[in-house]
A and B are shown apart, each in its own frame.
Chain A
């Protein structure tokens, strides 16, 4: 049976549904955002062309760089912590027995709870006066911290809550990856005198690298898309210290009535994400080539 198309337009017809979806829900909005970024518009009155004024205003106010920096810091905290914690939990809990099954289920359960519920739960836990965390800190006679009210801690606190929610997902993916690590090879290495750390470093980790790349990528995307948790827990505050990209876009268009500036942030956000993805792909391919070469 030949795989050659009988008509020249058949491949395009097959691709058309995907292209249509991409076009309507991705390329068209992106093009519109780019177009609107050159206008001053509030949705209600006619848009006025302003050239690069939106970009200049965002740059001059420092909002663009500050938002990008905050988002990057938040993402790094989320990606590094959730990936390493997920891996550690997977290694610890990759055992048979009801107890381990229960703990695995408990850790993963946070992932299936809605973001809003998680945010409300942690708002209550972190209340600086009546929250459980504050009471424990007071009982231990440690200095009290206003986790969500102090600009120095708020981003790390939000990252911590995000990590708490998504680590179960990372753990499950790593557990799946661990099933592909041949037990016979690990047993042989143990018989040859390799310790736990050596077995992990020489056998488990190299085989888990694609899984780690997947977990890292999905965590990165998720952290860049964070909105609900910011909206519910801090509304970007205090002092804009937790205003990350998606929230900043929301704030410009719906609070400040500036569709043009929101579009400009969207365009920059897109360029930044493309750059980061390219960097990640480059690093991954480079790592893969290095692995083949060795």
Chain B
């Protein structure tokens, strides 16, 4: 009797352990199913889901299950946690700055299987090999998806009324912002730009600096300081620029909101918002390249498709089928036409040119034209940490509290170089 009881107890304990283990494992996916984690809301989400729907109409072997995972950084949190516990999607998309870190951690699958023809057709400046300095020497682990550059948007009605033109230099930027500001019951700001690493990087390049020189992090040196000082002057001396509240996407949304409400004459944001701003503004929206200082320069932004390493073969192949389809000229041009992101396929871009789309919608062309001055990111596993831990939190302090730009960037450099 006692032996029987012991056996049943042991069986019960083993059952519990089995139950716990199975609960921790990734749920098995159906044959041909592709779990796709994405980070879009609003119009971009609708366009993406429309594309997935069309993919399903055109074939039946692969079924994509898209799941919204919050903004880019929330999505990244979930990806890292998923990688740790082994519950990963088939495909997701991540910001460019984190690709080298994930690649060095060995958690990304090679994507060469997407096809040589697809890889050859990628817009060079937007591909892994063109985006990263050194990216061409690394295995292909990232395919461009929603790629962008920062551009300037201006309120056409205000600019026409004041006889303003889009600024082409920092001096003109300050002057246009000064003339665009209007005091009253509700202040209208001349200029608004999220105090964000991406825009700071643009300013650093325009001031003639680079973030990494000869493999060593410099944060732009004197150019980095001048970039911060430009913002400080516009916020505190000129009082023409409003740094939008919040961090990350919250600040970007605040800038868009102020622009659409007529509370900002000009903003800097991503080309990703061309369609959104044009559709929602009650005034004509103009777009222009960012101004220059000693040089013209912009970073590229947006995200890349990546696939976690170690997926079952069948799932990996299904994921590649979907990626291959997404990279085709028709999908690339539709995505660009309906959002404002840049087409990642050369043939897709040519289609937009020849069909007259860019002539009819000049705002969509601004980012593409800016690609000629796009700066490459260093292929450095530290890039993401430098961005998120060293620079981003200090930019806000430097501008809001007008801390000495040199001191702030020295501090950021120490953190960047630290363990």
Contacts and interface: CB of A to CB of B under 8 A. Distances in A.
Interface of A: 40, 42-45, 50, 53, 57, 61, 128-130, 138, 146, 148-149, 151, 234-240, 254-258
Nearest to A43: B84
A282 B44 CA distance: 57
A1 B137 CA distance: 82
Contacts of A50: 419
Contact of B419 (A53, A146, A238): A53
Interface in B254-302: 258, 261, 263
Nearest to B248: A235
B354 interface: no
Interface of B: 73, 77, 80-81, 83-84, 101-102, 105, 107, 185-187, 245-248, 250, 258, 261, 263, 384-385, 388-389, 393, 396-397, 400-401, 415, 418-419
Most buried by B among A151, A236, A256: A256
A71 B321 CA distance: 50
Contacts of A237: 245-247, 396
Contacts of B400: 151, 238-239
Most buried by A among B245, B258, B389, B418: B245
Contact of A256 (B245, B247, B250, B385): B385
Given A50-B419, A129-B263, A45 B105 contact: yes
A40 B401 contact: no
B405 to A, nearest CB: 15
A44 B107 contact: yes
Nearest to A50: B419
Contact of A239 (B77, B81, B187, B397): B397
Contacts of A128: 245
B55 to A, nearest CB: 30
A44 B83 contact: yes
Contact of A146 (B84, B186, B245, B263): B245
Contact of B385 (A57, A239, A257): A257
Contacts of B389: 255-258
A129 B245 CA distance: 12
16 contacts: A42-B105, A44-B102, A44-B105, A129-B187, A130-B186, A138-B185, A146-B245, A235-B248, A237-B396, A239-B396, A239-B397, A239-B401, A255-B388, A256-B385, A257-B80, A257-B384
A129 B105 contact: no
Given A42-B80, A235-B248, A235-B250, 6 more contacts: A129-B187, A130-B186, A146-B245, A237-B396, A239-B397, A257-B80
Contact of B258 (A129, A235, A236, A254): A129
Contacts of A235: 246-248, 250
A238 B81 contact: no
Nearest to B396: A239
B401 A254 contact: no
Contacts of A256: 385, 388-389
A254 B261 CA distance: 34
B253 to A, nearest CB: 11
A238 B83 contact: no
A243 B397 CA distance: 13
Contacts of A43: 80-81, 83-84
Nearest to B84: A43
Most buried by B among A50, A128, A148, A238: A238
Given A130-B261, A236-B247, A255-B388, A40 B419 contact: yes
A236 B384 CA distance: 19
B63 to A, nearest CB: 29
